[in-house]
Amino acid sequence: MAKKSSGTGQRCALCGAVDSNTTPVLEIMPGLTLCNDCVSYIETAAKSELSRRQGEQKKSPEKKSSIPKPKEIKKFLDEYIIGQDEAKKYMSVAVYNHYKRIARLDAGLQDSEDVDIEKSNVILVGPTGTGKTLLAKTIAKLLDVPFTIVDATVLTEAGYVGEDIESLLTRLLQACDYDVKKAERGIVFIDEIDKIARKSDNPSITRDVSGEGVQQGLLKLLEGSTVLVPPNGGRKHPEQKMIPVDTKNILFVCGGAFDGIERKIAARLNTHIVGYGHNNSDAKKQRDNLMKYVMPQDLKSFGLIPEIIGRLPVLTALDPLDREALRRILVEPKNAIVRQYVKLFEMDGVTLTFTDEALDTIVDKAIEYKLGARGLRSIVETVMVDAMFEVPSSKKKEFEVTSEYVLEKLQKNPGLNQSASKE
């Protein structure tokens, strides 16, 4: 609290006025004295500046970022994901329509018009390592919305050991610091959705731990309803206050490998190609990539209940990666594996280069080990670990990775060689 000076000749630090009855000099803080006139001037100037800034904010409110068009979304995805053009097209359209719908709701047009546009939840089907998770993660990065990945295998029906269905939304809230309004515009990627398929065609008459019961629990989230979410997990803190979250505007993207669904697809396709007029070349083409012919009825035959299939209207399949795609994945995307290692060495002042033969060898080994795109990183890590250990301590300014160097380092790793021999 400011105290009046003792009148011993203290001066104002700004104007130099001496303390007197007409011009009192106040001790604002230890070592700082100001006269009454200067204090009033500072208060007036501060209020004026604050009013001016508030006025500028009202005149020029923050511009809402426009929703990127489907072609713009796909172009952004092309920078990070190689191939999968059909899946990227489906995802781009679904996400664009979803956020266009949200913009319509924010503008208050929902109640004034008769047409009610529903959500376009997506289900991605494809072999492991083809980019299902990366697809959803990249779109979330483009739109700058809360995003979370949840593994469906840890979800269980209420009353069993595991995570409740509501834990999906708990993680989404954690991703945006418990900002409910922001979370209600987010994206949830449910991975391994195929692992909660029921094991037989007969509906369960009792509750099961991680099959049909979990699918039933997901229905209310996918369709859109207000869910009471425990912020720290329901079972550990039953006394905590629940957070209501409306899932009507949350986009759910489900992904799964659906191993063995090819047999369901083949059985369905064969009913249409039996006869003397059947073309053998078409049949061979179908057998090479049956996943592209997946239909909702195939998901039902695999074990997903019809209700959950109906709440995932956008169904698209990802193609298996061939040699050319794996080669491009190594070097072309913005976050390509090779670019990451080049950057790591650049931080130590070392120029790292890979010969074309070395890259071809890495791709050949990934195909041989049947690891797909996910395995490219582990192979490169195995090849580069010795160099990353030794080069920073050496005086080398350049380091080149050749095909011979790749083979030498891979031969020293018995784990990879054993896995290859088992295959």
Span 322-334, average pLDDT: 90
34 domain residue, yes or no: yes
Q: How far apart are CA 307 and CA 228, in angstroms?
A: 22
- Are 221 and 300 in a shared domain? yes
pLDDT band of residue 415 (cuts 50, 70, 90) is low
127 domain residue, yes or no: yes
- Which segments within 247-362 are labelled E, that is strand? 251-256, 314-317, 351-354
CATH code: domain of residue 365:
1.10.8.60
- Are 337 and 364 in a shared domain? yes
pLDDT at 63: 40
Out of 41-45, 58-62, 166-170, pick the least confident.
58-62
- Are 243 and 373 in a shared domain? no
Q: What is the pLDDT of residues 145-177, one digit of tens each?
A: 888 888 888 777 554 555 778 888 888 998 888
Q: How far apart are CA 230 and CA 392, in angstroms?
A: 48
The three-point CA angle 247-95-336 to 5° equals 115
Q: How far apart are CA 300 and CA 200, in angstroms?
A: 11
52 domain residue, yes or no: yes
Structure tokens at 286: 């179908």
13 domain residue, yes or no: yes
Q: How far apart are CA 95 and CA 120, in angstroms?
A: 8
Q: Contact at 8 Å (CB) between 298 and 264?
A: yes
pLDDT band of residue 354 (cuts 50, 70, 90) is very high
- Are 359 and 238 in a shared domain? no
C-alpha to C-alpha distances, 148 to 74, 89, 122, 195, nearest whole angstrom: 21, 22, 15, 19
- Are 52 and 197 in a shared domain? no
* Residue bearing the bigger pLDDT, 230 or 91: 91
93 domain residue, yes or no: yes
64 domain residue, yes or no: no
- Are 156 and 173 in a shared domain? yes
Q: What is the pLDDT of residues 109-149, one digit of tens each?
A: 655 556 777 778 999 998 877 888 888 888 878 877 888 88
Give percent of the chain with pLDDT exceeding 70.
80
- Are 167 and 248 in a shared domain? yes
- Are 239 and 289 in a shared domain? yes
- Are 39 and 182 in a shared domain? no
DSSP 8-state code for residue 265 = H
CATH code: domain of residue 194:
3.40.50.300
Query: Which of 12, 33, 59 corresponds to the end of one domain?
Result: 59
Q: What is the pLDDT of residues 289-309, one digit of tens each?
A: 788 889 999 999 888 999 999
Query: Which of 285, 317, 349 corresponds to the end of one domain?
Result: 317
Specify whether the backbone of 67 is left (phi greater than 0), alpha (psi in -120 to 50) or beta.
beta
Helices (H), 192-260: 212-223
pLDDT band of residue 7 (cuts 50, 70, 90) is low
- Are 345 and 241 in a shared domain? no
- Are 32 and 176 in a shared domain? no
Q: How far apart are CA 206 and CA 201, in angstroms?
A: 14
Span 38-55, average pLDDT: 80
Question: Partners of 190 in the beta sheet?
Answer: 150, 254
Q: How far apart are CA 221 and CA 12, in angstroms?
A: 66
Q: What is the pLDDT of residues 212-234, one digit of tens each?
A: 778 888 888 888 888 888 877 55
Number of structural domains, the chain?
A: 3
- Are 235 and 120 in a shared domain? yes
Q: Contact at 8 Å (CB) between 74 and 92?
A: yes
Does position 276 have pLDDT exceeding 80, yes or no?
A: no
Query: Which of 280, 295, 317 corresponds to the end of one domain?
Result: 317
Mean per-residue pLDDT of the chain: 80
CA 377 to chain centre: 19
pLDDT at 423: 45
Which range in 7-11, 59-63, 266-270, 322-326 is most confidently predicted, on average pLDDT? Answer: 322-326
pLDDT band of residue 352 (cuts 50, 70, 90) is very high
Among candidates 7, 78, 41, which has minimal Cα distance to 332? 78
Does position 10 have pLDDT exceeding 50, yes or no?
A: yes
65 domain residue, yes or no: no
Phi and psi, residue 194, nearest 5°: -70, -20
Classify residue 205 by burial, with Cβ atoms within 10 Å: 0-12, 13-18, 19+: exposed
Residue 40 belongs to what domain range? 3-59
Among candidates 260, 356, 250, 366, which has minimal Cα distance to 311? 250
Question: Partners of 362 in the beta sheet?
Answer: none
List Cβ neighbours of 239 (8 Å cut-off, separation of 6 or more). Answer: none
pLDDT at 205: 47
Q: What is the pTM of this model?
A: 0.70
List Cβ neighbours of 202 (8 Å cut-off, separation of 6 or more). Answer: none
133 domain residue, yes or no: yes
Beta strand 398-401 pairing with 351-354: parallel
